Chain A
C-alpha cells in the first residue's frame, strides 16, 4: 500500500497507542524474514528521497516475541505510527539559550520547540526547557537501547571544558566571550536532535518523546558529567574497548562488510582531510577580514588629512567601502564555518558512530564465538562423563550442553540480526548523507553568491564617488 501524500497521516492500525503493554513488547525488530528481492525499505520505509520515487511498501505485521524490559520500538509500532515517508515529520528548533544559576553550578538551558504531525506525540506544537546534560543523557539512553541491535545513533555535541567554564565565568554584562560558543552549541544541538528526529525508529522512542514533550525536569544525567564516578568508569571501559578493538580480529565472512568497513575508513579520512582544508580557508578569510578593517581605518586617516575636498570625500567613502567589505568577508567566514565546517565535523562524528556500530557487531560475534567455544567444552565434558560412566554428572552436563546450545543459537541469531540491521542503517545513512551534502553544498554556493552580490553593490555605490573627484 503506497503512502498517500496527503496532509493527513496514513490510516492507523487498530492498536491503541497509550496502552502500556504495547510499549513493553518485543525487543527485536526484524522477525519477518527478508527475501532476496524484497525492497530494502520494506520494513521501515526508510527513504528520504524528496521526490518520493522509491515505493514505500509495508510488509506484514510481525508477531511479537515475549516481552523484554526495554521499551524499544517495534516494527509494529512503526507501522502504527506511520512510515518514515514524506508527510510524517518531527521538526525541532532550539532557541533562547539562557544562563541559569551562578558560579560553578551555572549551566545553559535551551528551549526545545517541536512541531509534529505524528500521533505518537500528545500535541502537534509544544516546547520544553532542557539543559546540555539532558541532551547527552538522551544520547546515552538511546545508545544503551539501540546500539546493540545495530542502529546508528546520531552523536551528541561534545562536552567542552573550556566552553562550559566560559559560561560559568561570564557574568550578565559580559556575554561576548561565550556568545559565539553558545551559538555554535545551540546550532549543533539542533542538528543532533533533528537527525534523531529524522530517524524512523528513534523518533518514536518513548525516551525521545519524553525529552521533547515532558514538562517535568528530566532526572539529572549525572552519568554524563566528565568528572563523576560514572564518568571515570566510562573512561576505563573506553580504554578497554579500545584495546579490544585493536586486538580482536574478527573472521569476516561477509564481503559486504569487508568492503563497507574499508569504505567507511576511506570516507573518514577524506572528510577529515576536507575539514582541515576548510578550516584553513576559514582562518585565511578571517585574517583577510581583519586586514581589510585595518586598511579601511588607515584610509580614513588619510582622508582626514587630505585638503583636497573631493579627494578627501572619496577617500572617506573608500574607508566606508572597506568597512562594509570587511563585514561581507566576516559573513562569508561565518558561512564557511557554519555551513561547511560544521557539516564536515558532524559527519566525522557520524562516521565515528558507524564505526561504533561496526564494533558492536564484532562484540556480538565475539559473544557468539565464545558461546560456541564453551559449548564445545561442555560437549567434551559430557562425552567424557559418558565414557567414564559417571551417571551422576551426566545429567548436569547434559543440561549445560542444552543451555549452551541455546546460547549459541541466540548468539548466532543476534549476530545475524545486527548484521542485517547495520546494512539497513547504512543504506539509510548513505541516502541521508547524500541528500544533506547536496543541500549543504547548494546552501554554501548560495552564500558565496549572495556575498559577491553585496560586494557588487558596495563597489557600485563607490564608483560615482571616485568619478566625482575633480
Chain B
C-alpha cells in the first residue's frame, strides 16, 4: 500500500509518486514491472498512467505508457473472471471505483458555510479537506496499482492476452460502462449465482474435507471482514471529525486571544497553536488507521470474496462432473447391448473431461487457498505492526507537543 507521505498542496490533483511496491512483488524478477506513474483527476473520472517496463519478447517495446480509466480495469478483471482456464485461480479483486463523493460533499458544505466563519478558519478547513481529497486520491491510485502488480507477478496471469492488450494498446479500449439493461442483467445474474451458490453448498456433498472446511471458514471470515471493514471506516471517519473540530477550537481561542484581557492573550494563543498542531497529528492518526487497518480489512474482504468465487466455480465443476457421471451411466444402461456405442463413447469422453477439469481445478484451488491464507497472514502482520508503530509515533509527538505547551504555559503563570 502506498505510504502516506505529506502531499504538497498543489491545485491540480495529479501526483508524481515514487513507486512503492506491495508485498506481493518478487524483487528478483524484473521481467515485467508495472506501476502507475501518474494520475490525473478530472471532473468525473480519474486517468491513470500505467507504466510498464519489461524484458519479455511478447511486448513490442521495453518501456511504455498508456492511459487507462477505472472502467478499463473492470473490463480487464471481467476478462479474467470469465476465462475458464483460470477457473482454479483466485482472480485478484477489482479495485473499487474512485469515489470522491464524500470529499466533494464536504467541500460543498464548507463552501456553503463560508459566510459563518473567519477567513483564517475557512482557509484551514479548506486545506484540511484538500488534504483529505488528496489522500483519497492516492488511495485509489494505490488500489489500482496493487491490482495490476498482482497480475504482473502471477506466473499465469502475466501472460494473458487481454492483460497485454491492457498494458500496451495505446488507444482507448472502447469500453463503455454497462448501460442500464446490462447492469440489470448483471444484477440478476449475480442474484441467481448466489442462490446457485447456496443450492450447491446445500446439495453437493463434498467428499473432500479440506474444501468443506475452507468453505465454512471463508463464508464466516468474509462476513466478519465485511463487518470489520465497515466499522473501521466509521471509526476513522469519526476520528477525522474530531481532528476537524480541533480547528474550530483553535480559531475560537485565537478570537478570544485578540479580544480578551491582554493577560490571557499569550495563554490563549499558545493553546490555540497547540490545538492546531494537535489536530494535524490527530488527522495523521485517522488517515494511518485508514490506510493500514481499514484498507487491509477491505482488501482481504475482497480477496476472500474472490476465494469464495473460486470455491463456487469448483463446486460447479463438481456438479458438472457428477452430471457427466450420471449421463455416462444412463448411456451405458441404454446401450448395454450395443458394443462400443457412440453415445457411450461420447459420454465417456465427456465424463473424462469433466473429471480432469474437476481434478485440475481442485488441485489448483487448494494451492490458491493455501497461498491466500499465507498472503493474508503476511499482510495483516505487516499492517498491524505498521499501524502500531505509527500510533506510537503520533502519540509520542502529541505528548511532546503538549509537554512543550505546558512548560511554556507554566512559565506564563510565574
A residues at B contact (CB < 8 Å):
50-51, 266-267, 270, 273-274, 277-278, 280-281, 284-285, 287-288, 291-292, 294-295, 297-299, 301-302, 305-308, 311, 314-315, 318, 430, 433-434, 437-438, 441-442, 445-446, 448-449, 452-453, 455-456, 459-460, 462-463, 466-467, 469
Contacts and interface: CB of A to CB of B under 8 A. Distances in A.
B392 A311 contact: no
Chain A interface secondary structure, helix, strand, loop or mixed?
A: helix
Contact of B406 (A297, A315, A446, A455): A446
A281 B249 contact: yes
Interface in B208-247: 217, 220-221, 224-225, 227-228, 231-232, 234-235, 238-239, 241-242, 244-246
Of the listed residues A280, A284, A460, the one surrounded by the most CB atoms of chain B closer than 10 A to its CB is: A284
B315 interface: no
B242 A438 contact: no
A463 B414 CA distance: 41
Interface string B116-160: 000000000000000000000000000000000000000000000
A298 B227 contact: yes
Contacts of A277: 245, 248-249, 252
A302 B224 contact: yes
Contacts of B252: 270, 273-274, 277
Contacts of A463: 385, 388-389, 392
9 contacts: A281-B245, A288-B239, A315-B380, A434-B263, A460-B388, A463-B385, A463-B389, A467-B385, A469-B380
Interface in B267-311: 267, 271, 274, 278
Given A270-B259, A459-B388, A463-B385, A437 B267 contact: yes
A462 B406 CA distance: 29
A291 B409 contact: no
A453 B397 CA distance: 10
Given A295-B234, A301-B227, A438-B267, A445 B274 contact: yes
Nearest to A329: B242
A452 B391 CA distance: 10
A270 B260 contact: yes
Interface string B355-376: 0000000000000000001001
Nearest to A280: B245
A288 B235 contact: yes
Given A456-B392, A459-B388, A448 B409 contact: no
Given A270-B260, A460-B392, A442 B409 contact: yes
A299 B383 CA distance: 14
Interface of B: 217, 220-221, 224-225, 227-228, 231-232, 234-235, 238-239, 241-242, 244-246, 248-249, 252-253, 255-256, 259-261, 263-264, 267, 271, 274, 278, 373, 376-377, 380-381, 384-385, 388-389, 391-392, 395-396, 398-399, 402-403, 405-406, 409-410, 412-414
B238 A288 contact: yes
A446 to B, nearest CB: 6
A437 B241 CA distance: 26
Chain B interface secondary structure, helix, strand, loop or mixed?
A: helix
A93 B340 CA distance: 104
Given A277-B245, A284-B241, A466 B398 contact: no
Contacts of A288: 235, 238-239, 241-242
Given A278-B249, A295-B228, A466-B384, A311 B242 contact: no
Nearest to A288: B238
Of the listed residues B246, B385, B410, the one surrounded by the most CB atoms of chain A closer than 10 A to its CB is: B385
A223 to B, nearest CB: 37
Contact of A469 (B239, B263, B381): B381
Nearest to A273: B252
Nearest to A446: B406
A466 B379 CA distance: 11
Nearest to A462: B388
Given A281-B245, A445-B402, A445-B409, 13 more contacts: A270-B260, A274-B256, A280-B248, A284-B245, A287-B238, A288-B241, A307-B217, A314-B380, A430-B261, A441-B271, A442-B413, A452-B399, A456-B399
Nearest to A461: B388
Nearest to B230: A298
A456 B259 contact: no
A452 B249 contact: no
Contacts of A51: 414
A192 B96 CA distance: 57
A449 B245 contact: no
B377 A308 contact: yes
A190 to B, nearest CB: 23
Nearest to A431: B263
Given A292-B235, A438-B264, A301 B253 contact: no
A441 B402 contact: no
Contact of A291 (B225, B227, B234, B398): B234
Contacts of B239: 288
A277 B239 CA distance: 16
A456 B248 contact: no
A459 B217 CA distance: 29
B224 A298 contact: yes
Nearest to A467: B385
A321 B390 CA distance: 15
Contact of B261 (A308, A434, A462): A434
A130 to B, nearest CB: 34
B132 to A, nearest CB: 16
Given A438-B267, A438-B412, A449 B227 contact: no
Given A280-B248, A442-B410, A462-B388, A301 B403 contact: no
Contact of A284 (B238, B381, B406, B414): B238
A318 B224 contact: no
Given A281-B249, A287-B238, A441 B409 contact: yes
A466 B399 CA distance: 24
B407 to A, nearest CB: 10
A448 B278 contact: yes
The 3 closest A-B pairs by CB, nearest first: A449-B402, A466-B384, A469-B381
Nearest to B386: A466
A290 B234 CA distance: 10
Contacts of A460: 388, 392
A452 B395 CA distance: 6
A315 B379 CA distance: 13
A299 B259 contact: no
B370 to A, nearest CB: 12
A274 B257 CA distance: 12
B235 A291 contact: yes
A295 B384 contact: no
B232 A318 contact: no
Contacts of A430: 261
A274 B410 CA distance: 23
Contacts of A314: 380-381, 384
Contacts of B278: 448
Nearest to B300: A302
Contacts of B256: 270, 274
B264 to A, nearest CB: 6
Contacts of B245: 277, 280-281, 284
A300 B271 CA distance: 38
A274 B260 CA distance: 13
A437 B260 CA distance: 12
